[in-house]
Structure 1
Amino acid sequence: MATVFSINTQIEPEKGTKMKKSFFKSITGRFLIFLLMLSMIFSTGVFAAVNSDSNESSHDTIIDTQANGDIGVQYRGHVQNKGDVPLPVGNFVTGPGELGSQGEGLRLEGLRIELTGTVPSDAGISYQVHVQNKGWMGVVENGNFAGTTGEGLRIEAIKINLTGLDGYEVYYRGHVQNKGNIPVIDDAWGWVKNGAELGTTGESLRLESIEIKIVKTETYTALGDSIAYGMSATPGSGYVNLFYNDLIGVSGNEDLTLANLAVPGYTSSQLLGQLQSDPATITTLGQAKVITVSVGGNNILAPVIATLAAAFQLDPTSPTFPTDLATALAQPGAKDVITAAMPTIQTNVTASVTQFGTDWPQIVATIKTLAPQADIVVTTLYDPISSQDPLFAVFDPAIQTINTAIKTPGAGYRVADVYTAFATYQGSEPLVNFNWYTGNLDPHPTTAGHELIYQSHLNAVVINSY
């Protein structure tokens, strides 16, 4: 494999000592300052991720409660003056049809609810009613009767839950005496869900009708590192949040939920481990309609800091490591240590970038296995350093190598080309916090940078050929 991380430490003899000092000022000196700031900004997050073999929950037992097909609901009940409904007796209303009546002043006295479709053996639906003069009655489930008959007592409220059924939620709404259709959300007839109370207690009002539906849970799942996590953006203005707000404005996505599973400091290997062994991630991806991935930057950063930890004889697992490394980098002679460590840094970064190339096809294959119907969008890495800066030549080749892997033709996902968007940006607002002149060496995107990453997601395309 071609070298992806290179610092030329050879000085031509005829240039002399003056040239050597200039070199250190332009390359090694800046590299020293850069690493000093990075150690304070990133090392805790990087090593929290690097030193964990897996997520805390990775050894939990995975219980398969995922339905294999569409799940529905049906129900029947007992209504004042009408008896058992719907007719003929024994029939069911298919959700979300109405059980009961409106405008007739008739109370709903009892009901039975059951799931339909391919229901896992341990899954079910439970429900509990609040009845006039009796209060909350016991929880029943799976078609058993809740309420009363022959006593002239009204149901006043109800709670409904799904049990042992991942990937679905139960929604319900109704019509209540003197209140009309409830709940009212944003001036419209809405829904409550998953055990919330529908109706009233203590007001002596009858529940007259109910509608119930089972909704398959769908998520927008964000995977990756601190950029996907939203670090350095104004709260709520990370690209993940911006993209989510755009998605839920599209017809059919109104109930889409956001699951941001990004972990600051994660490398490609850690993301792969998360996908393969973390139960929460596996379950969430099974519900994913849209998935975005931003990873690779720590494949470059983590080995740099790890190598420096070894060079300065520091323990990267120590809680004081960020301070210890910052102190070491500020000491006289740090330049010499860094210069001596450069070949190892180059080797380790090259190995880590090569590892990305190995991990990436497995990451994509695992995501597609867990979420075969999801729309996947992947970001390229941007370079936070100006092309005019000496450090550009240090980091950009590694970034480009990772981006080449991401932009594999025919990989079956859309690519948000953030690298190009940042490189060709003509606006006045800075896209990254990195600025030599202000002393801010945080390479994370600014809020404006996150906005451009979001726009890149909107413009993402499938790459079929170079």
Structure 2
Amino acid sequence: MATSIISPAASAKSDQAKESLVALGDSIPFGYNLGQTNQNPSKAAYPYLIGAEEDLRVRNLGIPGWQSEQLLGALEDEQKYRQAISHADYVVITIGNNDLLQILREAGEESGGNQAQFQQLLVQKLQADDVFANIAAAIAETRSLTDAPIVLYNVYNPFQLTDQLHYVADAILPGINQTFAALAASSENVYLADAYTAFGDNQAAYVIQGDIHPTAAGQQVLADIGITAFGLE
């Protein structure tokens, strides 16, 4: 009789038996500013939400502040990243946000408040920057290590409606996100998660006030569109 009783823990799939999700990128998959400290990735970050909903083991390798060049370097040179990806069943990538914020800051400083010059500098810096070449190379390097499906997130508008930069970002992000879509479409088994459309003008709910990072609700939106992009619904 005792042998017929199976505990919930024993009947549940063990952690090692689960399929795995590896998260690559910056402070967004890390879940920056969602917890009391930022020493470790937040369990409220979208990779863990996907893992919880789809019963996946999660390896969160997001690093706050990282730009595309740093991610590419890690994928090329660091065994921790290469081994994690080689064992992944699913991969999510969120990168390029810090590259673009730096370009925005530089264009703003150099234009001195002249809007026409700001727009011109912005276009020039976007064309000269290697961000998309780096992201394309990062996708290719990831694909060389695994045939797992990859979901690439595009860029949401991080600025509140009360911030003038919201409207600057809305003017440039559709074009930038077309490039993200093209990168996904030109790569095998890579799918786009459209964070820009999902967030829309709902920054008050989805972006932390006085910050550019997602709220818990924003992270849930990112998880939802990731699940959809993977076709796990």
Normalised by the size of structure 1, how large is the TM-score? 0.41
| Distance across 2 between alignment mates of 1:190 and 1:460 | 27
Is 1:298 equivalent to 2:72 in the alignment?
no
Q: Which residue of 1 aligns with 2:33?
A: 232
Q: Which residue of 1 aligns with 2:38?
A: none
Q: Which residue of 1 aligns with 2:70?
A: 270
Q: Tell me, which stretches of 5 or more residues in structure 1 are unaligned? A: 1-178, 194-214, 249-255, 312-335, 435-439
Partner secondary structure for residue 188 of structure 1: helix
From 163, 166, 183, the equivalent of 1:392 is 166
Offset, 1:276: 0.8
From 399, 403, 407, the equivalent of 2:181 is 407
Offset, 1:360: 2.4
| Distance across 1 between alignment mates of 2:32 and 2:155 | 15
Q: Any conservation in 1 of the 2:46–2:220 contact (CA below 8 Å)?
A: yes
Q: Any conservation in 2 of the 1:287–1:371 contact (CA below 8 Å)?
A: yes
Q: Which residue of 2 aligns with 1:141?
A: none
Q: Which residue of 2 aligns with 1:443?
A: 212
Superposed CA deviations along residues 252-305 of structure 1, whole A, max 9, x for unmatched, are xxxx42111111111111111111111100011000000001111111123455
Q: Any conservation in 2 of the 1:300–1:349 contact (CA below 8 Å)?
A: no
From 133, 140, 143, the equivalent of 1:365 is 140
Superposed CA deviations along residues 178-200 of structure 1, whole A, max 9, x for unmatched, are x979xx7635368999xxxxxxx
Distance 1:305 1:384, change over 3 A: closer
Q: Which residue of 2 aligns with 1:346?
A: 122
Is 1:422 equivalent to 2:199 in the alignment?
yes
Distance 1:219 1:190, change over 3 A: closer
Q: Percent identity?
A: 24
Q: Which residue of 2 aligns with 1:288?
A: 88
Q: Which residue of 2 aligns with 1:174?
A: none
Distance 1:223 1:185, change over 3 A: farther
Q: Pick the structure with greater CA Rg.
A: 1
| Distance across 1 between alignment mates of 2:167 and 2:204 | 24
Distance 1:388 1:307, change over 3 A: closer
Q: Tell me, which stretches of 5 or more residues in structure 2 are unaligned? A: 36-41
| Aligned residue runs from structure 1 range 72-221, under 5 A | 186=8, 188=10, 218-221=19-22
Distance 1:260 1:187, change over 3 A: closer
| Distance across 1 between alignment mates of 2:12 and 2:230 | 36
Normalised by the size of structure 2, how large is the TM-score? 0.76
Q: Any conservation in 1 of the 2:93–2:153 contact (CA below 8 Å)?
A: yes
RCO greater where, 1 or 2, for CA within 8 Å and sep 6 or more? 2
Distance 1:357 1:401, change over 3 A: farther
| Distance across 1 between alignment mates of 2:150 and 2:112 | 40
- What residue identity is the alignment partner of 1:433? I
Distance 1:283 1:431, change over 3 A: same
Superposed CA deviations along residues 335-383 of structure 1, whole A, max 9, x for unmatched, are x99449x76963774256x4122222212111111112x1211111101
Q: Any conservation in 2 of the 1:265–1:298 contact (CA below 8 Å)?
A: yes
| Distance across 1 between alignment mates of 2:10 and 2:219 | 34
Q: Which residue of 1 aligns with 2:48?
A: 241
Offset, 1:405: 1.5
Distance 1:191 1:378, change over 3 A: closer
Q: Any conservation in 1 of the 2:152–2:191 contact (CA below 8 Å)?
A: yes
- What residue identity is the alignment partner of 1:188? A
Partner secondary structure for residue 214 of structure 2: coil
Superposed CA deviations along residues 9-46 of structure 1, whole A, max 9, x for unmatched, are xxxxxxxxxxxxxxxxxxxxxxxxxxxxxxxxxxxxxx
Offset, 1:391: 2.0
Offset, 1:387: 6.2
| Aligned residue runs from structure 1 range 449-460, under 5 A | 449-460=218-229
Partner secondary structure for residue 457 of structure 1: helix
| Distance across 1 between alignment mates of 2:13 and 2:160 | 52
| Distance across 1 between alignment mates of 2:29 and 2:14 | 31
Partner secondary structure for residue 205 of structure 2: coil
Superposed CA deviations along residues 224-244 of structure 1, whole A, max 9, x for unmatched, are 110011113354211111111
| Distance across 1 between alignment mates of 2:10 and 2:86 | 31
